[in-house]
Chains A and B, each alone.
Chain A
Amino acid sequence: MVSSLRHDMLLFTTLLTAWLPFLSFVLIIIFTRRHPRLSSSLSITAVSVSMLGAVVLLMAGGDMAFPIQYTAKWLISGDIFIPFGFLLDPTSLLMLTLVAVISFLVQIYSLGYMAGDPGLSRYYAFQSLFAWAMMSLSLSSSMLQLYVFWELVGLSSYLLIGFWYEKFSATQAGKKAFVMTRLGDMAFFLGLLVVLQNFGNLNIPEMNSPELATRISPALMALSALLVFGGIVGKSAQFPLLTWLPDAMEGPTPVSALLHSATMVAAGVFLFARLFPFFSYSAGAMTIFLAIGTISMLLASTMAMVDRDIKRVWAYSTISQLGFMIMGLAAGSFFAGTFHLTTHAAFKALLFLCSGVWIHQYKTNDMFQVGRLGGRGLKVPVACIIVAAAALAGLPPLSGFFSKEAVMASLAAMDNPVWLIAGLVGAFLTSYYAFRLVFIILFPKKIETVHHEEQVGGQHSLAHYWVMAWPLIILAGITLILGFFQSSLEDFLVGHSVSEGHRGGQHGWLLFVTMGLSFCGVGLAWLEFGRRGSPQVGFLERIPRLKGLFAERWYLDHVYGRFVHDVIDGFFSKLSTRNDQQIIDGGIDGLSRFTLGSGRVLSFLQSGLLRHNLFFVFAVIAVVALYFLLV
């Protein structure tokens, strides 16, 4: 009795948490479109209740018997049964909390960042839609339901990336994001259909159960795992579908913060974690995932090393860190990947939000420009970005350090040392590009004099500054302490902390190597950009060819542009259109011309002249007579 009441409460909380933002989306679109203040308060109220709900669920989660699943009928068609439901287990609860907290902070921050924007209501409506889609995604109990919300997450990011739709580059970026992720989603959908046909079920716990491996042949398992992974490649912007993410920073900065930390791109890695047992049944596929994660991590790091645009550097860094998470997961460590996803969400959101303060203040994305205009004058973002960059670089005692170590340990456990070496190279590159940016902003070579009142602005702008500063401080706090919760998180996620022992024992040296490399990266950045009299020219810029390659994103964009322009538009579409106009339609028009023409020819017979008529009568009689004579 008590437990049923408790379950009812649990279900109610879950429903409330996931669906309140949807309610706020609907209300804003229908009623409060013209009242931006009301819209923003509606959306923030909804997301704060969701956040509370998520935290309550997470807290209550400690002593629950997982997984808890609620399902109701959604759709039955022939043999296909698709339930709608919630799946509560450590993975989903952790993700839910992550999404709710980051969404909440971003929405608060947006009050300052987006103040005065004419589309504020629309902005908050889309934010609510985004929060709803992402939270429901993490709670989904069947893969088809997850796919539905997966697509909705894609839709909301399309809408938010292209939020400033007057800007051509923004709409272009939104479109690119949607189409590129759609490419991955098609593979994902096909993969699901393969599983559905051969297993007859898309329920997540059942897909993860060992029973699956006995029902499906290994080849099909590998095929479906690879196809489903296609969706992850698209969503998490992994190689080769990675070029949409850097463009996606055309959206407002808080949107980038959301997109790059807890939603959208995180959905991909979350899916990997969600179906971790399913993926790990096919070892061959896992190796491919590991390779893709590694390539993405290294490629994106190189791109980040030469860019001047603050947001774009963080975007590359997101790709690279997501690759790193996938490496961890593909190396077989569920916890390492998930833990890095969690810590990354906090510090990446922090990085974007800090940069947003400068971008808002100085109206430029160029890091040299921000430094020159006196970026270091803004104390809160300066302090916070140092914390976040250190976490990104994996310096102790910040959260990133712990999660990076966990991933490294899982890589070190692999037989092939290549992956570990790649990971270490990545760690070096990461700390280099992170601190390159920090030093450029902190130690500009020449400071342009900026009027003080302009710098912090009037009373109004000061208020905005503090609205934006508070979320930064909270996130920095989270980044500082999250690492110390490693073992309790591990306990929560995996049920026991196994790796505790052998992490220290077997690979004790690894800790120091990783740390050393990270500090080397920071040191190199200091030499080139930080110290007094430094040239502020990276070593890569002295090799123009390499710099060109990195700055042009390894020419991946050119390939895609060519593909769409030449192959789809220039060949297939043109061919079909020409065929339509000239062959199919032309054939029909030709037929009608023929009919008209033959009618015209025949009409000569009806000239009305007696001699023609007589001739015709004679001819017919002759033909008939001939026929009878011959037959």
Chain B
Amino acid sequence: MDIELASFPYLSSILMSCVLGLLVILFVPEERRVLIKWVSLVFSGVAMLLSVYLFFAYDKTQGGLQFVEKVLWVKSLGIQYFNGADGFNLPLILLTGIVHFTAVLTMWELEKRVKEFFALSFVLVAGVFGFFMSLDLFFLFVWFDVSLFPMFPLIAIWGTTRKEYGAMKLFLYLLAGSAMVLPAIIYLFVKSGLNTLDLVALMQPGTFTPFQQKFAFIFLYLGFGILAGVWPFHTWSPVGHVAAPTSVSMIHAGVLMKVGAFGVLRVAIFLCPEGWRYWSELMALLAAIGIVYGALVALSQTDLKYVIGYSSVSHMGIVGLGLSTLSVEGLNGAVFQMFAHGIMTALLFSSVGYIYDKTHTKMIPELGGMSKVMPVASGYFIVGALAGMGVPVLAPFWAEVMVFISSLKVYPVRGVLAISALLVSALFMLRLVQRTFYGERNERFAHLPDVSFGLGIPRMILVAVLILFGLFPWLMLDLIQTSAIPLVESLF
């Protein structure tokens, strides 16, 4: 059977809506900026709605891969167009849908080279979607690179602080990651002897010897880990966040870093479970260092975006720590944290973006007293900051609890180290909020308008999502478990 399709190709439709969006934009004249924005909004909206539908339509009692689409493409190499949804990638597909839609809304006031900007955004997001849903190693790698290359022009053209430097640095780092992943994939393809790149076929136990798994795992882990901001390969990420324009920061920190973390899960852990077990101590160590280190560096930053950038390093460390525990709770927490962190940073960058657009500065000492000037815009940021501190009723709290519970069981010392970062993250977030938003009314910016209802919509959506999953964490965890339990059971 070469072709196997679900009753309706939902997953491909998500991809198609990105591709169609791109094509339509290409045919709209450059001057019709509003039309371009509406086209982006509609197509990203369709993708978001589809991802929401899939998230809720997935049959949790049945589990496994659903909405499968499988078409043989190159027989001699065993390459298939193979998409499927499970408990691991559905949260991330939903995340991508939400973040892209809100990113388009956030950039509603963009004036500079609108057409290229939104077109490139669609390329980027299509790559991310494809990466999350694909179950064929060849396509995984192709989508991975498709999502990387638009970052360079997006930052270099529309960026701000040291944009060429940031874009170049980011690009080289990600390319280095990609260069480590490719040989590992080829190595596994050759060693399996199955002449297929089908992930499901390759992950059958016994396909690879323990040595092969250990060898390939470290390449895959480091290659994808660079993109996930694993310490000490993280320095591209704050620089890149700072240089990137608002919506690209949102997608970059919100989604692209998850591509790395998801790659570790989907490729490295799925194919090389023995390697996972072997290298888990190292993963936990790097993650724990990253959590504390990121928070400590964030404490001394004076640029709003740098603070968020380093806090992302810290929060992505929690994902790494969860992945390293080899347990169901850890995996649950890690995937939940990918989702929650994505929404949270999108909210933070989106709010900073508004402030930067109006005041033309993101230096904390120059701001201050912004709550009086723009109370609503400040309120959105403060909610994001609270989420970053792990306040309950917001989604990241649950993810962190899960990861801490599981990590303390396996790695007590590293777990305590990671928990101690909670104090530092409260300190830097509150300090940031105090210095930026509190204090006397800022006369220099007193004339600036508060965020309008329309421009507030993306932030509203993000806040609502944070609260929804903060109040009802089982919505997410029940789904992730359907994949996490079989994975861990197959291992032990």
- Quick check: B474 and A73 within 8 Å, CB to CB? yes
A4 to chain B, nearest CB (A): 26
Let me know if B328 is at the binding interface, CB within 8 A: yes
Which residues between 427 and 456 of chain A lie within 8 Å of chain B, taking CB atoms? none
Residues of B within 8 A of A625 (CB): none
Residue A462 interfacial (CB < 8 Å): no
A75/B398 in contact, CB under 8 A: yes
Nearest CB in chain A: distance from B401 CB, A: 8
Within 8 A of A (CB), among B465-481: 473-474, 477-478, 481
A193 within 8 A of partner (CB): yes
Q: Specify the chain B residue showing the minimal Cβ separation from A122.
A: B375
- Interface pick from B128-136, B258-266, B355-363, B420-428: B420-428
Q: In the bound complex, how far is the Cα of B473 from the Cα of A75, in angstroms?
A: 6
Does A378 touch B at the CB level, under 8 Å? no
- In the assembled complex, which residues on chain A have CB atoms less than 8 Å from the CB atom of B431? 175
Per-residue CB contact flags for chain A residues 173-200 toward chain B (1 = under 8 Å, else 0) read 0110011001100100110010011000
Q: Which of B38-46, B61-69, B189-197, B293-301 contacts A (4 or more CB under 8 A)?
A: B293-301
Q: Does the CB pair A74–B473 fall under 8 Å?
A: yes
B481 touches A77 (CB 8 A): yes
Residue tally, chain A, CB below 8 Å to B: 48
Structural contact, A179 and B426, CB atoms closer than 8 A:
yes
C-alpha spacing A584/B229, complex, angstroms: 13
Chain B contacts of A158 at CB under 8 A?
A: 430
Given known contacts A75-B474, A148-B393, A569-B299, A193 and B332 CB-to-CB distance under 8 angstroms: no
**CB-based contact B438/A78 at 8 Å:** no
Q: Is A56 close to B, CB under 8 A? A: no
Convert A148-192 into 0s and 1s, putting 1 for each residue whose CB lies closer than 8 angstroms to a CB of B: 110110010010001001101001101100110011001001100
- Kindly state the separation between the CA atoms of A189 and B369 in the bound complex, as whole angstroms: 34
Q: Is the CB of B300 within 8 A of A569?
A: yes
Segment 183-238 of A: residues with Cβ below 8 Å from B: 183, 186, 189-190, 193, 196-197
- CB pair A588–B392 under 8 Å, yes or no, is no
Chain B proximity mask over A560-601: 1 for CB below 8 Å, otherwise 0: 000010001100111111001000110010001000000000
A576 near B297 with CB under 8 A, answer: yes
Most buried by A among B371, B386, B405: B405
- On chain B, the residues within 8 Å of A148 by CB distance are 392-393, 397
The A/B interface has a contact count, at CB < 8 Å, of: 125
- Say whether B372 contacts A166, CB under 8 Å: yes
Contacts of B448-492 to chain A: CB distance below 8 A: 473-474, 477-478, 481, 484-485
From B386, B401, B419, B474, A190 is in contact (CB under 8 Å) with: B419
Complex Cα spacing A179 to B420, Å: 12
Q: Which residues of chain A in 461-489 are interfacial with respect to chain B, using CB atoms and an 8 Å cutoff?
A: none
Cross-chain contact A171 with B329 (CB below 8 angstroms): no
A573-B300, A576-B297 in contact; A166/B423 too (CB < 8 A)?
no
Instruction: Say yes or no: A152 contacts B392, CB within 8 Å.
Output: yes
Q: A79 at interface (Cβ–Cβ under 8 A)?
A: yes
A76 on the B face (CB < 8 A):
yes
B293 x A175 contact (CB < 8 A): no
Asked if B416 is at the interface (CB within 8 A of a chain A CB), the reply is yes
Q: Which residues of A are found within 8 Å of B401, using beta-carbon distances? A: 144
Q: What distance in Å separates the Cβ of B35 from its nearest Cβ neighbour in chain A? A: 32
CB of A193 within 8 A of CB of B473, answer no
Q: Is the CB of A76 within 8 A of B474?
A: yes
Closest partner residue, chain B, to A170 (CB atom): B438
Which chain A positions have C-beta within 8 A of B441? 166
Q: Which of chain B's residues have a CB closer than 8 A to the CB of A574?
A: 300
Q: Is there a chain A Cβ closer than 8 Å to B440's Cβ? A: yes
Chain B: which residue is nearest A176 at the CB level? Answer: B430
Are the CB atoms of A171 and B235 closer together than 8 Å?
A: no
Judged by a CB distance under 8 angstroms, whether B147 is at the interface is no
Q: How far is the CB of A390 from chain B (nearest CB, A)?
A: 40
Measured CA separation A76–B386 after assembly (Å): 25
B208 within 8 A of A: no
- Check B434 against A171 for contact (C-beta < 8 Å): yes
- A172 and B427 CA atoms in complex are apart in Å by 11
Residue A80 at the B interface, CB < 8 A?
A: yes
Which residues of B does A touch, CB under 8 Å?
169, 172, 232, 234-235, 293, 296-297, 299-301, 327-329, 332-333, 369, 371-372, 386, 391-393, 397-398, 401-402, 404-406, 408-409, 416, 419-420, 422-424, 426-427, 430-431, 434, 437-441, 473-474, 477-478, 481, 484-485
24 contacts between A and B (CB under 8 A): A73-B474, A76-B478, A77-B477, A78-B328, A144-B401, A151-B392, A162-B438, A166-B439, A166-B440, A166-B441, A171-B434, A182-B423, A189-B404, A193-B405, A197-B408, A197-B409, A568-B424, A573-B299, A576-B296, A576-B297, A577-B296, A580-B293, A580-B297, A584-B232
Told that A78-B327, A190-B416, A568-B296 touch, could you supply 11 new A-B pairs with CB distance under 8 A?
A: A77-B329, A78-B328, A78-B406, A151-B392, A155-B391, A171-B439, A190-B419, A568-B427, A574-B300, A576-B300, A585-B235
